Structure 1
Amino acid sequence: MKIAMAQVLSTNDPQLNLDIIREYATQASSAGARLVVFPEAMHIAMGNSLLDAAEPLDGPWAQAVRQLAEELQITILAGMFTPGEGARVRNTLLITGSGIDTHYDKIHLYDAFGFAESDSVTPGERPVHFDIDGVKFAVAICYDLRFPKLFTHHAQHGVLINLVSASWGAGEGKAEQWTTLAKARALDTTTFVIAVDQADPESAGETVSGTAPRGVGRSIAVDPLGRVLHESGQGVELAILDLDLEAITEAREKLPVLANAREI
């Protein structure tokens, strides 16, 4: 199965961000990908007013993504912001195309490293799975990657490929934590982990200030035995992966962590 990883850099303009999605989804579709994963915060970049930008799932931004996915015959995953409780939003991953229309609201909020996502975001409450061609996928957003139980839950429910969209925070050792965690979650679950981050803004000449997580690049694809299939640099990049799903059977014969797990 071919999957595309679109490591891009979103802006403060939702319309321009739709143009970015169109450009890279078109390339992914032309390359034969069944699915393209965009980062978190594709609707509007972190560090802007999320509340002012938030739209419902049937609003014009999400509808434009749906129409594009239908036009290109590809499933698109793209991060957006939807209305939350009170003066807060939900950090939402829209999943649309190929007969799929669902969404995931980020469960674990990034109250860490001097940033308090819970001040402006209402947490989600449920994991989300979906199927393409009989293959079960699950999704996560950014900080979720630090929580193994979410990924174990997915694997126990038949998930073979975990997709992560992120706008990872920069800082000392943070990029290394991002790639290490992706490998760990693959090994925890003997699943593929495809983790797509925002490109590093500094790679495009932007000056970054404040604590908002804007991305570090280094999107990564890991196989069920923790082997790196692809790791991006810091800049904008589209990668196409052709996953051999037989690798999951091989991994689970060698490393039956799901079968060996015991309640403690």
Structure 2
Amino acid sequence: MTENRNFKRRVRARAAKTGESYTTALMHLRQASAEDLVAQPRLLRLAVAQSGYFDDPRDAAALHHAGEGIRHLMREAHRAGARVLHFPEGATCFPNKRIMSTIGPREIGPSDWRRFEWTVLRKELDAIRTLARDLGLWTVLGSVHKLTEPHRPHNSLYVISDKGAVATRYDERMLSNTKVSFMYTPGTIPLTFEVDGVRFGCALGIECHFPEIFGEYEQLNVDCVLFSTSGGALANDIAFAAEVQGHASINRYWASFAVLAQPGLTAPSGIVSPDGQWAVRCSGDGPSIVVADIGRDPVDPARPWRRSARGGIYDPHIVSDDPRSSSRDMF
């Protein structure tokens, strides 16, 4: 009621100042308010996690410990005011290909998914969903998703809503050779979801190597891509992080880079702004979070211009020169 009275007072003040009728002043102020609303960027506080590394799905105690670590970071994100928390690939467990191999561990062969403590995983996921509801925190979480036998599982990202429900799920599409040969069933479609008017896309694993994945999300009008990975295979591998910076800059959207905590093996988790620069990064090698306020700037001309540039605007300006012209005319 107070806000309504203040608005009416502004209408009367404008009418007195300009000599307009009350109705005309009301029309102008309503139009101005609508334009101001449109021009305001949609902002949301995003947290990205660097969570613990666990690779043995046979170890029930380790799965429980991973779940406890995830919930600890969820509480930290809530205290930091985050609306969405983004976790790495395999945050619940990143199954080791040698542990899972039927002919391992010295050789890599088809994975034996009967070795996975699925009941323990389900209990931990239920506890995570309950906490997401209690905190009112959207949680994007890397986990293995079991399919009916004899199908291999998906390598997935669960999108858990602030109501504690699995709102949707992204399944890694561009699997590595080992993953597709011995471990997982590939996904088939991109995924977008919205929170408070901010649209997210998801990518996973090694998909940072495939620019078409990130270009597709630009066409799907996302404001931020959440990329979850276990990290590179080489010591001090910064390639994945650098590629995510490039995709953010090329497509002019935010990108979140979530990686498992493996000291000395990969770049830390962080959030990249649409200009390709790191807005925030985790500082240490262990589990932690950082937060940034993200959203699309409605007055940024770069993204609309790049869409126009890809749409054939140069065609009317292209000319054909006579290839038989004298070589001296080339300089």
Q: Which residue of 1 aligns with 2:232?
A: 169
Say if 2:227 is the partner of 1:227. no
Give the deviation of 1:45 after TM superposition: 2.9
Q: Which residue of 1 aligns with 2:310?
A: 261
CA distance in 2, matches of 1:251, 1:161: 17
Say if 2:165 is the partner of 1:104. no
Give the structure-1-normalised TM-score: 0.83
Secondary structure at 1:175's aligned position in 2? coil
Matched residue count: 243
Secondary structure at 2:206's aligned position in 1? helix
The answer to whether the 8 A contact 1:7-1:217 is kept is no
Q: Which residue of 2 aligns with 1:218?
A: 268
Give the deviation of 1:218 after TM superposition: 1.6
Say if 2:150 is the partner of 1:86. yes
CA distance in 1, matches of 2:284, 2:175: 24
In structure 2, do the counterparts of structure 1 residues 190 and 87 end up closer, same or farther at CA, with 3 Å as the change threshold?
Answer: same
The answer to whether the 8 A contact 2:175-2:205 is kept is no
The answer to whether the 8 A contact 2:232-2:238 is kept is no
Aligned residues: percent identity?
Answer: 22
CA distance in 2, matches of 1:141, 1:249: 30
Q: Which residue of 2 aligns with 1:212?
A: none
Q: Which residue of 2 aligns with 1:140?
A: 203
CA distance in 2, matches of 1:195, 1:31: 18
Give the deviation of 1:249 after TM superposition: 4.1
Say if 2:89 is the partner of 1:27. no
Instruction: Find 1:8's aligned residue among 37, 51, 76.
Output: 51
Decide which moves more: 102-111 or 230-239: 230-239
Give the structure-2-normalised TM-score: 0.67
Q: Which residue of 2 aligns with 1:150?
A: 213
Secondary structure at 1:68's aligned position in 2? helix
Q: Deviations over 1:188-244 (max 9, x none)?
A: 2111011110111x46xxxxxxxxxxx624223211121221233451221111225
Tell me the amino acid that sits aligned with residue 126 of structure 1.
I
CA distance in 2, matches of 1:180, 1:189: 14
The answer to whether the 8 A contact 1:54-1:81 is kept is no
CA distance in 2, matches of 1:10, 1:71: 26
Give the deviation of 1:149 after TM superposition: 1.2
The answer to whether the 8 A contact 1:53-1:81 is kept is no
Tell me the amino acid that sits aligned with residue 213 of structure 2.
L
The answer to whether the 8 A contact 2:238-2:267 is kept is no
* Structure with bigger gyration radius: 2
CA distance in 2, matches of 1:90, 1:59: 15
Tell me the amino acid that sits aligned with residue 222 of structure 1.
V
CA distance in 2, matches of 1:245, 1:150: 20
Tell me the amino acid that sits aligned with residue 196 of structure 2.
D
Give the deviation of 1:158 after TM superposition: 1.5
CA distance in 2, matches of 1:217, 1:228: 12
Tell me the amino acid that sits aligned with residue 240 of structure 1.
V
- Which is strand-richer, 1 or 2? 1
Give the deviation of 1:183 after TM superposition: 1.1
Please give the root-mean-square deviation of Cα atoms over the aligned residues, in Å. 2.5
Tell me the amino acid that sits aligned with residue 89 of structure 1.
P
Q: Deviations over 1:231-261 (max 9, x none)?
A: 3345122111122532x642626x7323322
In structure 2, do the counterparts of structure 1 residues 250 and 103 end up closer, same or farther at CA, with 3 Å as the change threshold?
Answer: same
Give the deviation of 1:142 after TM superposition: 2.2
CA distance in 2, matches of 1:251, 1:22: 40
Q: Which residue of 2 aligns with 1:209?
A: none
CA distance in 2, matches of 1:14, 1:250: 44
Tell me the amino acid that sits aligned with residue 15 of structure 1.
H
Give the deviation of 1:262 after TM superposition: 4.3
Say if 2:241 is the partner of 1:179. yes
In structure 2, do the counterparts of structure 1 residues 54 and 186 end up closer, same or farther at CA, with 3 Å as the change threshold?
Answer: farther
Decide which moves more: 232-241 or 89-98: 232-241
